[in-house]
Structure 1
């Protein structure tokens, strides 16, 4: 640390939610021209701490200093006025409006605005930071990486000096992530301070200057990134034990077909053929937006396939979903854990019952006490924090909410699992647990794994299918080294294999 007064200093900041201590006596400095990585397992208190800094939450104790003077950030407006802004995992943009209109939202300027001047201003700001964003483009038409750039431009346009990035690469392709890091380096070169929250330790090693590690709401380590020898060492510092993120994927003899897709087309899909057998994991890889979402939604019964056929557990699509059992059938782990997988204002017991209630019904009666007892056991088994069945879904961190969804779906003992980005937002220890669970589950189930993490697909899959522009351009065994080496080219549409 330099001797210069930090731009932001948090001193003995604490925050509790009932009996749960989310933050306990946390002190840290955020310095100009530096990137501070904030690490910790799911539920360690990172998002709570940054929500306090962004004015969304108020601390129970402690002081925040801004340029050496104490400041009370009692609202997001006060934080923005102080030059503090946050880029959230879930973007806060108006989809029907243009880039320039979203950036202008919340600004003054009277009744009449000079949109030509505003567009030029946004265009110049984007160009200065190496972003290629059209000010007149509609948000709904942009890629996830472009939407994130708009969120960043909103903060830069307000002259934010402190920018907080919460899991910024979770929804980005590798090239979009590289563009983000280039932009971040330009920003710190301009004297801005950045707080970077991520579970991707290789990114932390590449981009951070300093690292602060939280565990159960307390700071347990502070270190310069240059002083950390490897991601293995960093993982051990974070978790408190050695974590290698390696799994022993023993071969399992594939058995009966549990999913068969034939000539499925429509909603951007083009004649999709594939099958999944009990005892195997089929990994679907591809850049986001190439048909993975409509394929998953058709397989899981959210949309009827416009053309072609889908058979699940030997039954035709319509028959399967007309009389679907709560257990020993299909479990879907959706990417949208906050909107589709759970109800944010229900407690964990009711969220558990969303897909398992069939196992707790006797006649017209719901046996909620038995469901609560089972939920408690799963919360303990999956180390979900806070360990309180009465906690509401929105009170959990994204990673802990994902663990709740996984606990619920594995409890159903499915014969077919569709896992869509199952470890997105999970810390390295939780990711290791999920990988182990998926490999164990294929003993009794066939698994369709849809992931944007190529390393995850290669670690878990028995076969890989590459999607591009609504087609499966190649399917091959994981030990086919020639095809595996060409996956990036196939994902980009540069190579099409029969």
Structure 2
């Protein structure tokens, strides 16, 4: 194989946000025909560095060389012209537009392209890379996984030669992730330079040609992927200590039902029945867009069931959500942490009060000082970085924001926890902590875990429910090896007894 060319060279890049030094004198080369994995703990500066390359931020100091020539990327438009494209961890789509309109937004060839022609081009592009999606669908109606495919298609349509992916498989099933990997390898084989930001060490080892590791805003290690021999070795290089993603799930005494659904239906759900008891974790798995979102919205009171019965903590759906309690009730950890879980322009104290204000208010006054003290304690306990409750939510990395949401919701001491992709975007060290916290929470709560990560589901869950087409295909104990081996088939709609 001929020596690859450095299409991008970062030299001495530094970026500071207030008291936070996100990047400190970073130098890095990105080569054509290679996949470079960028690793680091939450807040290490990975996304900031790549956002600078994508023209979203201007560096405070340093140079960006493209094909050996210094380039000043003042905006994302400049980056696009230079052939740089990025799929962000938090999607940048116009919800009211269709898939095809989003893909072509800002890059229409010529004065006019008919909607039919746009849809056909997007359909052909999606099929060529195995990214199944309806070009005519409205983005607002898509699941998070489907929205991610739209972001990827935007890059593919733009024919960017330097492609940056920030946690691209966070909401994908293993099958979807494999399809993405095939597309990335194909792009690299055609000479494109790819940067892959991920916390999933197995993915990195399977996909990357070379690995760069950031810690506290600096590159601490850079090496060929072939020199890394195990995930534990990679985790140790990243975190600076031994990390073992192993859990000891001791069986809990099952107590009262905290959730019961019988034959629940709406425009998406089809006769869904399930139950959850205090002391257990029920994991719901399935390909994105098969009803998980509607299931969560019904359980959390965001969408009323049209048919069937929902019982939450011994009360009917209508009674429970007419006067929900801030403590000892239901806590929801949403998948869309930037859009639903927090307000980006508010500080961490006000974000803490979003779901806890009933506990920090008298009949007239809000006890903000008391809330601030508790929020500070939680920030330290959950190792949120930076540990400053005066920071606005938008100043935190995605993983640290997730830790803040988890801290807030566990503080409410819920008896029912709905955790939707709770470790999405977290590093291995933080995942270890979240898993331990969820397992400990079973003592007081039942946990409905909605996850696209099968390894997470099988590590934590007592029972697994597989969804397809808005229905529960099967529910079974997580230690039923025969059914576990068929999860992939069930996620494609095959009934569990079809191969018997």
| Correspondence for 1:269 | 269
In 2: Cα distance, 1:267 partner to 1:197 partner? 36
In 1: Cα distance, 2:268 partner to 2:296 partner? 12
Q: Structure 1 residue 95: deviation in Å?
A: 4.9
Q: Structure 1 residue 318: deviation in Å?
A: 1.4
| Correspondence for 2:19 | 19
8 A contact 1:13–1:60 mirrored in 2: yes
| Correspondence for 2:362 | 362
| Correspondence for 1:173 | 173
Secondary structure (helix, strand or coil) at the match of 2:25 reads strand
8 A contact 2:10–2:62 mirrored in 1: yes
Alignment of 1:419 with 2:419, yes or no, is yes
| Correspondence for 1:334 | 334
Secondary structure (helix, strand or coil) at the match of 1:7 reads strand
Alignment of 1:201 with 2:189, yes or no, is no
In 2: Cα distance, 1:114 partner to 1:308 partner? 44
The two structures, once aligned, show a CA RMSD in angstroms of 2.4
In 1: Cα distance, 2:149 partner to 2:322 partner? 43
TM-score w.r.t. the length of structure 2 is 0.93
Where do residues 320-331 of structure 1 align in structure 2 (5 Å cutoff)? 320-331=320-331
C-alpha distance 253-497 of structure 1, shift in aligned 2 (>3 A) = farther
| Correspondence for 1:43 | 43
Secondary structure (helix, strand or coil) at the match of 2:338 reads coil
| Correspondence for 1:452 | 452
| Correspondence for 2:91 | 91
| Correspondence for 2:182 | 182
Alignment of 1:73 with 2:79, yes or no, is no
Listed as ranges, the gaps of 5+ residues in structure 1 are none
Alignment of 1:474 with 2:474, yes or no, is yes
Listed as ranges, the gaps of 5+ residues in structure 2 are none
Q: Structure 1 residue 249: deviation in Å?
A: 0.6
| Correspondence for 1:192 | 192
| Correspondence for 1:250 | 250
Q: Give a deviation string over 1:85-107, Cα, whole Å, max 9, x none.
A: 11123333345545554443323
C-alpha distance 185-139 of structure 1, shift in aligned 2 (>3 A) = farther
Alignment of 1:229 with 2:212, yes or no, is no
C-alpha distance 150-494 of structure 1, shift in aligned 2 (>3 A) = same
C-alpha distance 114-460 of structure 1, shift in aligned 2 (>3 A) = closer
C-alpha distance 134-301 of structure 1, shift in aligned 2 (>3 A) = closer
8 A contact 1:421–1:452 mirrored in 2: yes
Task: Decide which moves more: 269-278 or 50-59.
Answer: 269-278
8 A contact 1:98–1:135 mirrored in 2: no
Q: Give a deviation string over 1:91-132, Cα, whole Å, max 9, x none.
A: 3334554555444332365544477877776677667x5446
TM-score w.r.t. the length of structure 1 is 0.93
Q: Give a deviation string over 1:254-279, Cα, whole Å, max 9, x none.
A: 01111121221223222222211111
Q: Give a deviation string over 1:116-160, Cα, whole Å, max 9, x none.
A: 877776677667x54466896445477766654543443344342
In 2: Cα distance, 1:327 partner to 1:132 partner? 42
In 2: Cα distance, 1:354 partner to 1:148 partner? 27
Q: Give a deviation string over 1:239-295, Cα, whole Å, max 9, x none.
A: 111111111111111011111212212232222222111111111122222222111
Q: Give a deviation string over 1:49-68, Cα, whole Å, max 9, x none.
A: 01100111011111111111
8 A contact 1:283–1:463 mirrored in 2: yes
C-alpha distance 104-422 of structure 1, shift in aligned 2 (>3 A) = closer
C-alpha distance 424-124 of structure 1, shift in aligned 2 (>3 A) = closer
Task: Decide which moves more: 382-391 or 90-99.
Answer: 90-99
Q: Give a deviation string over 1:292-315, Cα, whole Å, max 9, x none.
A: 211111111111211111112211
Q: Structure 1 residue 485: deviation in Å?
A: 2.3
In 2: Cα distance, 1:126 partner to 1:299 partner? 33
